[in-house]
Every structure is written in structure tokens, then in C-alpha cells.
Amino acid sequence: MQVLKIYYLLPIFFVTGPFLPDLVITTSSLFFIIYFLKYERQYLVNNFFYFFLVFYLFIIFSSLNSNDFIFSLKSSLPYVRIIIFPLIIYYLLEKKILNLITLSKILLFVIIFLSLDSIYQFIFGYNVIGFKSPLNYRVTSFFNDEAILGSYISKILPLLISIYIYINHKSKDFSAIIYYVTFFLGIICIFLSGDRMPFGTILLYIILINIFYFEKKQFILLLSLIFAIIVLISLNNSLKNRYINMTLLQLFEGDIKIDKKFQIDEKNIEEKFNFELKNILNNKILFFSRPHQEHLKTAYSIFKDNKIIGSGPNTFRLNCTPKFHEHQSRCSTHPHNIYIQLLSETGIIGFIFLISIFFYFVYKIFYSSLNKDRLQVFIFTHLFVSIFPISTYGNFFNNYNSIMLFFPVGFYLYMLKNNKNYKTK
């Protein structure tokens, strides 16, 4: 079992791309499916496993009823490893094979290193080993040509804070300063990445934490972040174009001149966007950007043809093309929202699974806040923003996205079980 200490390296493996995390999780899950059933069945006797086992059986059933069931089964059948993955982490923590303090140090290192490297790339145009971002308004650091730096940091930063609260809740020594500095650096990194949705969700996380468990230090941190962000936007045209001009232009239909990739170049931004106040005042507001809104329309049309069990996991790309080939902006591999994706690909039943989880998190946030359980407030607020309904997402059935979504869950299962020995003041 000691070989499974390789799980310590998962936060680093995520930076290298999907291959290494998927290799580790796939091989270990195959082993643990047999191991749990034969020797440690108690790790399968919990609400988490029961709930997702039913969901897993359902998505297989949905795949079998798909027009291209072979293609759909390629996504649904191996999904069992994603369900086993958090239970492996839970098991490794229970058996002391993994240690939360060691993991927190690794997360600290990864976040600080990526944050400092992103600042370096933002200033000089390339990172410490020479990687340049493929987009002149985005910072990618060691992710190189994959613009997912902000998304990655936004998923592991709240996990680090929850672990810190769990292992160090009574400490007021210098280590607390390190965590607060890391949190600040992480948010600046997300902001510099130009990834607006992760930046929005991390701000939502901070705001909700302040609402449901207000602390003076948290409030000061929030004000400091707002001030730093305002300064950065005011001093840098690329950030202003990305966060203000581009957002406004995507919210309002206007005479927008864009190329295929919607690139931003501060030298010709006026030519590309033709941004004028009258375009905002005289045009229709879009809830999402135009391409995303078209994807949602397509997903809804697919849903209407398959209301109960959907068109089959990961089949949006198959059903989109023949029906909407004349509107290319409506087609993609997925609709960029997991609620809409599950509605179209798994129907009302699959959608109910996800929305019930969301409302459970809402209930737990309120309940934990009333009971002044700081740890649970932080945990369930993180889980809440990770599946916030109006956020844009990658493909729910993509290996890398699913692994990243479920990565914190195993740690939270462990911490919540042992929360009975933890009291906040």
C-alpha cells in the first residue's frame, strides 16, 4: 500500500496534463474495486457510494439507449473509477498512508510556485523555463498552451484552506500568515490567468465565507484583494480589456468585430470590438456570451427529444452536428455547463441527481453556519461553488475534468467523519 503515497504527487501531476493523473487513478481504482469488495467493504457502506453507484448504473442505462451506445459507453462505463477515486483517498487517510499536513505542504508549494511563476510570466511574457502563453491576454505558467491555470488554482486553493482549518484551527502562530499569503497569491494568480469564471467563483467563495462565517481577518483579506485588483486593472490594458471590455461586449449584442479565437490585442482593440456606449444602451442583454448561449439552446433542443434519460453521456457532439450544422456556433463537444449537459445527455433523471447535490450543499452551509461549525462552512461552500449552476464548465465526462471535480471529495469525506473530534469557537 505504501506505493500509493504517489497520491501525494497528484497536485503536481495535474500540472503535467491528463495522462499521469488518469494513469494513477485508473490503475489504483481497478485494484481497489476488488480490494474493497474482498477485504474492506465498510468503505463502500456509506451514502456517498450508494448515491453515486445509482448514478453510475443510470448513466450506463442511458448509454445503452443512446443512438450510438458504443461511443457513449466509452465515457460512462469507465466512470466507476471516478466514484472509487475519492474513496481511495479517504481510505489512505484513514490508514495513515497519506497525511494531511504533508499534503498541505505540497499544496502550499504548488500554489506558491505557480503563483510566482505566473507573476513572472505576466511581467516578462514567458515563465521561468521559457513557456509563452498562446493567448496574449492570458497567463498559463507551466500549463503552457492549455489556458487552465486559473481553473486549476481555483479548485485546489479552497481545499488547502479547509485542510488548514482542520489541522491547525487553534494555532495563531506564523504558519497562519503563510496560509493567508498563499491564499492571496493564489487569487492574484487566478486573476492574472485571465480566466474569468474561476475568478468569479473564487470571489463568490470568499463572499459566502464572509456572509456565513464572518471573521475580521477574512474581511480585511477581501478588501485587500479588491484594492489590489482595481490597481492591476487600472495599470494594465490587457487586464482591462479582458475583464471589462470583453465582458461587456459578450453581455451585449453589438457591432463586434472578432476573429475566430476572439483574440485581444490592445493595439487594435478599437478596430476589433468597435466598442461604443450606444451598443450597450441599444442592444439586447445576453445572459451568457453568444457562443455559450447558442450551446444552451442546442442542449435544450436535444433534451426535448430525450426528456427522461437523455441522448446518452458524452453524445452532445453527435446530436449537435446533424441538427444544427447550419449554425456552427451552436456545435461543440459539450455545452459548457454541467447542468445543461446532464439535462441533454442524461435527461431529467440525471439532472435530478446533480441538482439534489447542489441543494444538499445549500442546506449544509446554512445548517453549519447556524451551528457555528467553521470547518463544514468552508467545506460545503467550496463544494457549492464548484458546481454553481450558472458557471461554465468543461465536459462533465472528460477524464481530467471529472478527476479535478472529485479530487477534494475524498479529503472532505475523511475530515467530515472525524469532525466529531473538532470543535470551533
165-190: pLDDT as tens digits: 898 754 555 577 888 889 889 999 99
DSSP 3-state assignment of 323? helix
How sure is the predictor about 338, in pLDDT bands with cuts at 50, 70 and 90?
very high
What is the average pLDDT score of the chain? Answer: 84
CA 35 to chain centre: 30
Cell of 215: 471573521
Residue 252: φ, ψ to 5°: -125, 130
C-alpha–C-alpha distance, residues 122 and 150, integer Å? 13
Which of 289, 305, 294, 302 has the alpha carbon at shortest distance from 331?
294
- Which alpha helices (DSSP H) does 236-268 contain, by range? 237-240, 246-251
pLDDT of residue 251: 65
Q: What does the pLDDT read at residue 286? A: 54
pLDDT on residue 48? 94
Please state, in angstroms and as integers, the Cα–Cα distance from residue 220 to each residue in 180, 317, 343, 412, 425, following that order: 11, 46, 40, 27, 20
- Position 224 pLDDT exceeds 80: no
Among residues 115, 86, 217, which one has the least CA distance to residue 164? Answer: 217
> Closest by alpha carbon to 14, among 392, 397, 404, 408?
404
User: In DSSP terms, which residues pair with 285 in a beta bridge?
Assistant: 252
